[in-house]
Amino acid sequence: MSKEKTVLIANRYKPRDRSDRGGMGEVVFCDDLHLQRQVVLKHLQAGVGAQRLLDEQKALSKVRSKHVVQLYDIVNISVGGVQQPAIVLEFIDGETLNVGSFSADANYLKVIWQISCGLTDIHSHGIIHRDIKPGNIKIDGEGVVKILDFGLSRNSANAETMSIIGTPLFMAHELWGNNKITFDSSVDVYAFGVTCLALLTNEVPLSLLSRPPSQPSRKALSALFAGVHSEITDILHQCLAADSNDRPAMRAIQALLAKHLLKDRHRATVVLNGSANTLDCKNRRISLNATVGSLTIEYDGLDFKVIQVAGAVYINNTSVAVRTVVPGCCVFTFGNDGARKFVTFDVSNPEVMP
């Protein structure tokens, strides 16, 4: 007797002998026979509102990011004889991030930078993920981090809820209200801060376990982030602020982490009187003398800073002072009125790689 023929889904997806079930949904691993690739088909369990899957569809259909799981297709399947929608997602051959599995090193910074990239892309499309945590993040075989599970996501224009929902440790202060709760993308920033901490240790400050949580002290966080640059600890501490207005934007976090990952790899070109000079880790200091004013800039591996200035010197028409951080692309002006001289300053932008 011949074996029973496998029934294809949407005349295209062949189920494998593997599936996983979560709190609200079930995923079935399939082969896409058209494009010869493995995919994940996700549908909701009986009794779970269809709005959950609809929210995930809407979110994923907007976002195109290297660090966000991709939506490939929407199909109908039969579950218990009832037709219901299912989404077909990118299959990520990798490991879910685990609590306490990282050390404060360059690899850790690359991982949290990639998470920040994914969240920056998500927020740029007006989407709030609302369930950022290690269990919803994977890292594939090539070291690329992917954010998953948009079942609780909301559009920024419709970000409110009548119930407390989410993963308690990662829920921001404002999500613990008793009545209608309004929120914005800063709830993801808070969850990102807790995730960064959770990847290093499972011993979180008690203030984060209270309901609602309160911001731990900077000193307490310093001990847990031992080995992380103080500038990074500062911004992660801001992520945990009880007031959402005090939390930084994900784009600012992304930029700061990138700066540290690129330590000693920046290069600036300084042009005075038609002569170009390079400022980098091999040539860390340059002095510019334009007769009507002088300036010395030093590269400390992270920033280009003014360490000496004399006379009338301006950056993009703003007066220069010692300790000023020079922006990536600008013009220095030496002197006033007809005696002015100009210097261009341009920093290359090397790419941070996973």
Q: Which domains does the chain have, with CATH numbers?
A: 13-90 (3.30.200.20), 94-261 (1.10.510.10), 268-347 (2.60.200)
How far, CA to CA in Å, does 76 sit from each of 11, 25, 89, 150? 11, 15, 14, 19
Write 180-187 long-range contacts (CB < 8 A, 24+): 183/128, 183/130, 183/159, 183/244, 184/128, 184/156, 184/159, 184/244, 185/123, 185/128, 185/156, 185/250, 186/244, 186/245, 186/247, 187/128, 187/130, 187/244
| Residue the block writes with tokens 């496998």 | 6
| Residue the block writes with tokens 């995919």 | 39
* Phi, psi for 118 (deg, rounded to 5): -60, -45
Sequential pLDDT tens for the chain (354 residues): 445 567 889 999 999 887 676 556 688 899 999 999 999 998 876 655 566 677 777 778 888 899 999 999 989 887 777 788 888 999 999 999 999 999 999 999 999 999 999 999 999 999 999 999 999 999 999 999 999 988 777 776 566 665 667 789 999 998 887 777 788 999 999 999 999 999 999 888 889 988 899 999 999 999 889 989 999 999 999 999 999 999 999 999 999 999 999 999 999 999 988 889 999 999 999 999 888 889 999 999 999 999 999 999 999 889 999 999 999 899 999 988 777 889 999 998 788 876
Residue 60 near residue 90, CB atoms below 8 Å: no
Would you tell me how many other CB atoms lie within 10 Å of the CB of residue 250? 24
Would you tell me how many other CB atoms lie within 10 Å of the CB of residue 341? 17
The Cα 41–Cα 77 span in angstroms is 10
Closest CA to 136 of 24, 224, 213, 250: 24
